[in-house]
Chain A
Amino acid sequence: MNKNNSKMLTADEASKIVASSVIRRRKKNARLKTYGRIAIGLAVSFLIFLFVSIFSKGIPGFFQYYVTLDVFLDRDRLDPKGDLSPESLYNGDARSIVLESLYKVIKPKGRKEKKAAKKIISSNADVRISKMVLDDPNILGKIIPITFAVDDDIDSFLRGYIKRETPSSERRINDKVIKFVDKLSAENKISYKFSDYILTGSASRSPEIAGIKGAFIGSMLTLAVCFIIAFPLGVATAVYLEEFAPKNKITEIIEVNINNLAAVPSVVFGILGLAIFIGIFGMPRSIPLLGGMVLALMTLPTIIISSRAAIRAVPPSIKDAAYGIGASKLQTIFHHVLPLAMPGMLTGTIIGMAQALGETAPLLMIGMVAFIVDIPGGVTDPGTVLPVQIFMWADFAERMFIQKTSSAIIVLLVFLILMNAAAVILRKKLERRW
């Protein structure tokens, strides 16, 4: 517009200008909407790709191949001392009993063929027999069909990962073994069913019997320790900072630092744990107690920040009401502020715990990566956790470990989803309108 003879527009002129600008604005809106849709579409397709790839790899990992054999449970050979003690069973001859049952079906000739036949059944077969006998000694002396996991190479062969066409010298199993497997299949001895080991087994170098139970329990124990330490500490800190702390330079510095801590890479907390808990206090490595403490350090800032936000969101009018009727500060906080802030605090805590559940790096620093076969019975038993187990399995060469890695990832994902769902449900349940 010309500055010199500027005057008010007439209503007509104004509405024309507005009308033309409306078109422009609408176009802009439409463009922005399209960009938004493209972005969401991309994100969703990545997510779908991720899920499809993990589930297609991981679901087969929950299943494995078994061979069923009629086994004669010879009392004298299985239980040499005759007292049914675990040591006696351990000293027994279960392995050869299993092999003999196998030989009856596939009838190997000569030492070479027998050697090949030995590769078919998982090395864990004798443990399975000992367990069955311990559970029910009455089966001794009978002939009963028992299902054993096949060795991981046979499993991979049956799945088609090890190909018949590959020259024998480049295969992990030779032609004799393949012949025996064919024979077992022909006699309907081979079955494919839900794995007995993936959910209930613990760490093992033999992929066919490796499972996540140890790591899962380790994760639960670690998370429990983390929660017990981080939640009360985080809430107490948040209450102090929001309700009691004087507003001065020191609290300001503390505040800024808490916010910064939330952004510190988790591995740093691992180093801190290594230096302080192991280095100074001399705590043992690899135990869930230590892991939980380190993860608590890591989740504390998240919990503090979300708890403070939740406390701040409590309407001041409620506090006024409590003070106005003569409630003390503590009563106001415990009777009114905390109950109203609880959904928000729990949501933050669960999100923090979900982060902790997926954390690997800090736990590697404190030695929770050790190869531990025993399932931890308490927070002071050495153990590992799910993500570390995944990390370890992903590093192993055997084909079957690749599937089990994906299966473990599925379990981890399911847990994360459950935890997040719990957060949503809690929030919905506890949230009140005022």
Chain B
Amino acid sequence: MVSNSNINNVKTKTIGEIFSKDPKIICRNVDVFYGEKQAIKDVSIDIASREIISFIGPSGCGKSTFLRCLNRMNDTIDTCKVKGSISLDKEDIYDEKIDVVTLRAKIGMVFQKPNPFPKSIYENVAYGPKIHGLSSSKEELDFIVENSLKDSGLWEEVKDRLQSPGTGLSGGQQQRLCIARAIAVSPEIILMDEPCSALDPIATAKIEELINQLGKNYSIVIVTHSMQQAARISQRTAYFHLGELIEVGETKKIFTMPEDKQTEAYISGRIG
């Protein structure tokens, strides 16, 4: 447990409001190293319930790295070491007692490149509920699959071909399938790492609309290289630079009156 008293008197260089009233995830003084190389430097931030927050910044600044800390995906990289504390509902997720399997069931993830399993559409969505034992019958599983596909806006397009391969869909459909797969296990938070960067504008618009919808029920952390996208979909925006969290605040404020010079330089297109 992270004690409540010192949670909000953390020393940080970050400009803006890193705290939330209703924090879901609390990150304090997070450092990440790949071997000797430090990729994230002393980042502290809260992520609130049911908020959409975007991470922006030049490529290589550590957005993905930080995002992957939140569901411990970095565990799969041998050289990666995470320091500091990250807690979900006030429980340290890097605690030895925490099982990454249950953690990742609570914090879903959508990747940059759509990566459906080379299985049927149905199997793709049903896989998570199956391995976590979320359904006790075929009917329940069918229900979960249908609902997840509906929530991801894919149902109408694929309901007649649930048994055809997920890899046969278009890029945008594949990405929505991946979103359906993530929400099929009823997570509380969804992490998205540049989910639209491999998609055309129309597919992107659909995903953005979907993210807006999902924001009502989930906390969403989205990494994006498109500032317009961040402006369109997120309530808060965090600007990263060279592994540091430079500035965080309401999206509108970040894009109209950033306090930091680097942030301003980035959003006006001078860094990037």
| B118 sits at the interface (CB 8 A) | yes
| A183 sits at the interface (CB 8 A) | no
Q: Are B127 and A325 in contact (CB under 8 A)?
A: yes
Given A325-B104, A326-B105, A326-B131, decide whether A319 and B167 contact each other with a Cβ distance below 8 A: no
Within 8 A of A (CB), among B112-153: 113, 115-118, 127-128, 131-132
Q: Are B117 and A318 in contact (CB under 8 A)?
A: yes
| A321 sits at the interface (CB 8 A) | yes
Interface of B toward A, CB cutoff 8 Å: 71, 73, 76, 78, 100-105, 108-111, 113, 115-118, 127-128, 131-132, 165, 167, 178, 181-182, 185
Q: Are A327 and B131 in contact (CB under 8 A)?
A: yes
In the assembled complex, 13 residue pairs joining A and B whose CB atoms fall closer than 8 Å, in A order, are: A315-B115, A317-B113, A318-B118, A320-B111, A321-B111, A324-B73, A324-B111, A324-B182, A325-B108, A325-B131, A326-B101, A326-B104, A326-B185
Partner of A434, one of B78, B131, B167, B182: B167
The tally of CB-CB contacts under 8 A between chains A and B is 69
Within 8 A of B (CB), among A331-380: 331, 335-336, 340
Q: Are A321 and B117 in contact (CB under 8 A)?
A: yes
Minimum CB–CB distance for B74 against chain A, Å: 11
Within 8 A of B (CB), among A401-434: 432-434
> Which B residues touch A112, using CB under 8 A?
none
Interface centre among B101, B178, B185 (most CB of A within 10 A): B101
| A16 sits at the interface (CB 8 A) | no
| A168 sits at the interface (CB 8 A) | no
Q: Are B73 and A320 in contact (CB under 8 A)?
A: yes
> Which B residues touch A318, using CB under 8 A?
115, 117-118
Given A325-B104, A325-B108, A326-B128, decide whether A317 and B117 contact each other with a Cβ distance below 8 A: no
Q: Are A340 and B118 in contact (CB under 8 A)?
A: yes
Given A317-B111, A317-B115, A321-B117, decide whether A331 and B131 contact each other with a Cβ distance below 8 A: yes
Q: Which A-chain residue is minimally distant from B109 (CB atoms)?
A: A324
Digit string of A68-101 for contact with B (CB within 8 Å is 1, else 0)?
0000000000000000000000000000000000
Given A317-B113, A318-B118, A336-B117, decide whether A324 and B71 contact each other with a Cβ distance below 8 A: yes
Q: Are A328 and B101 in contact (CB under 8 A)?
A: yes
